Chain A
Amino acid sequence: MRALALIVRLFRGAAKIQRKRMILTVTAIAWGTVAIILLLSFGEGLKRSLQTGSRGLGENIVIIWMGETEKAYAGLPAGRPIRLVPDDVDLVLAGVPEIASAAGEMHNWNVQLVNGRTALNKRVVGVHPAYEELRTSYPRSGGRYIDELDQKLKRRVVFLGDQLAKDLFGAGDPVGKTLLVADTPFTVIGVLQKKKQMGMYGGPDADRATIPLSTFEAMFGRRYLSNLVYQPTRNALAPVAKRHLMEVLGAKYRFDPADTRALQFWDTIEDAKRLDAIMIGLQAFLGVIGALTLIIGGVGVANIMFATVTHRTREIGVQMALGARRVYITGSIVLESLALTFAGGVIGIGVGVTIVQVLAAVQAHVKSEAMEVLGTPTISIPIAVATVTLLGLIGLLAGYFPARRAVTVQPAEALRFE
């Protein structure tokens, strides 16, 4: 304890002499810390933004479109179109245990929607009720999504995208109101909760009207699905689910289960994995840039420590003459270096966190598309841990090398130093 107090006194003595250089060094470390915190927290914000964005399409889902066979199979020629019908959803659910949930979907991209004097031509889709969960299409409070009863009774109910609801009904709540869909009166049952959606097909969910699949079939005289959405029970089982699904549908429509063209898949699970990999790469890249900035500050610390050691050569010689072991001398120098680094680090973390918070607050007010994609800069615990670890490492190294040099000279030589 007393030894530590002594080191602190020596440190203060040195600090007085080298104040200017110390301030510069602490500033360099602080700047490096700010840089690394900003870069990493922007990376984290972007990552989270992209993750919620992809959740807007649906979590861990696979979407299938109809295709055309590429291989001749069981005496049938190649080039046959494969079309799925609503009943295939039950077939798949019954026949593929690895599929947890599935919904069929039909699109009509140009349907007139009329509310009083407002008329718009928009996309209308018919879906199974499971679509709500699969495609994260949750109603905002006061409304509901299409349910099994709507489907069974072919009810004329419509669920509106939030943008579309605004365009048709203005700011008021449309739930319970009547909307003419292709001249047929429908009751609005719910409005989509605002969500960030990055992946999409057939336009954003915010700008479409959704009705029960059964109602859609009857109204527009459709038989075939536009596409089918399903979710495997577990992500790891996605490939098995896909294989079994191809077998079940292949048996029904008589195509080779290995025929990659019979049905077309969009596997968002794979996409998410790829996105994660890209994000890790991006964060590593930003981290390295930040780390380099910080390391430059570290070189400054090492430099000032070399200067300090030179300046104090004689004092170190005296301490050696009085019997200081190496660890005492190197220890006090490393401690000094750590103190400088942490002083810079604390300032840097303070400034960095403040900037991040101010930016986050600004973003909450200013709405712009670019800002939305960039996301809100976020400081995560791993970022904090990485920054502090790096600071500690830099402090240690920046002290270690000058300290090692200090103890390699003979005490007699150190004592001669002017």
Chain B
Amino acid sequence: MFGNGKNGSNGGERRDGDGAIIALAGVRKVYDTGAVKVEALRKVDLSIKRNEFVAIVGPSGSGKSTLMNILGCLDTATEGSYRLRGEEVSGMSIDRLADIRNRRIGFVFQNFNLLPQLTAFENVEMPLLFKGAPAKERRERVESLLGQVGLADRMQHRPVELSGGQMQRVAIARALACEPDIILADEPTGNLDSAAGGDIIGKFEELWAKGHTLVLITHDGAIARRTRRVVRVQDGTVVDDAPAA
């Protein structure tokens, strides 16, 4: 099997043997909603190397978003090990996890998750504020990022004044603000028409070419084919893991 997590969990060095940047081993996630316990993930082993371009596919409710949340340190696994750049994530303090999300991971969501009161500029600036970057650096970085996604003339617009594709481009600019290694995207094109969606995937391809590691969840087979590796999830576990056709 390709990239078995077991390979990536030997020892505590910064880079695992096969250069895995993400290494899940035996990860379980149980949602305890009081009355019922939902086992959203069971025994997931997954290893992703630096500069991979991975699609995660699978039926609705199979656990894709749950997996993505754990990869992004937005949630913690009930059981199992998650090594990010060789470092065990479980047991890290809340603020340490916040720093990891700030510096190492960029998120792109299906529903954009821009802050509605803030302008495009301010939305992109936010991670830099959390990082503590000085004002001049922030300004230059935000202007350059918004320029790269073709929104140099929309910087002072609020999310409601932007189209879906534009909002998602702001979100991509925001995800890149602190130059993360990893970009995680949960159905980034789900709320976009095919033209805007294709445009967004084009942006992802550019990022991959620049050396970023990308993981994206998608329902769209056409999009999955544009990645380099497809991980199929079903009933909370990885059932197939192969290079994109």
Contact = CB atoms under 8 A, between A and B. Distances in A.
Interface of A: 2-3, 6, 9-10, 12-13, 314-315, 317-326, 328, 407, 410-413, 415
A411 B74 contact: yes
Interface stretch (B17-25, B97-105, B205-213, B216-224): B97-105
Interface stretch (B81-89, B122-130, B149-157): B122-130
Contact of A410 (B74, B95, B109): B74
What's the dominant secondary structure at chain A's contact region?
A: helix
B117 interface: yes
Nearest to A324: B130
13 contacts: A2-B125, A9-B118, A9-B122, A10-B118, A318-B113, A319-B126, A319-B130, A322-B130, A323-B102, A326-B95, A328-B130, A410-B74, A411-B74
B101 A322 contact: yes
Contacts of B98: 320, 323-326
B69 interface: yes
A322 B127 contact: yes
B74 A10 contact: no
B58 interface: no
Nearest to A9: B117
B175 to A, nearest CB: 9
B38 interface: no
A2 B113 CA distance: 21
A362 to B, nearest CB: 48
B197 to A, nearest CB: 21
Interface size class of B (residues with CB under 8 A): 20 to 34
Given A10-B117, A328-B130, A323 B103 contact: yes
Contacts of B138: 2
A318 B127 CA distance: 10
Contacts of B9: none
Given A10-B117, A321-B107, 4 more contacts: A10-B118, A320-B74, A323-B130, A324-B130
B122 A411 contact: no
B179 interface: no
B75 interface: yes
Contact of A318 (B115, B125, B178): B115
Contacts of B131: 323
Contact of A323 (B75, B99, B109): B99
Contacts of B100: 323
B74 A415 contact: yes
A2 B126 contact: no
B94 A407 contact: yes
A12 B113 contact: no
Interface string B19-34: 0000000000000000
A270 B74 CA distance: 69
Give the one of B75, B115, B122 with max A CB within 10 A: B115
Contacts of B122: 6, 9
Given A323-B102, A323-B131, A315 B115 contact: yes
Nearest to A321: B107
Given A10-B117, A319-B126, A415-B113, A325 B95 contact: yes
A12 B118 CA distance: 11
Contacts of B99: 323, 325
A326 B102 CA distance: 13
Contacts of B127: 322-323
B88 to A, nearest CB: 18
Given A13-B117, A321-B101, A323-B98, A412 B129 contact: no
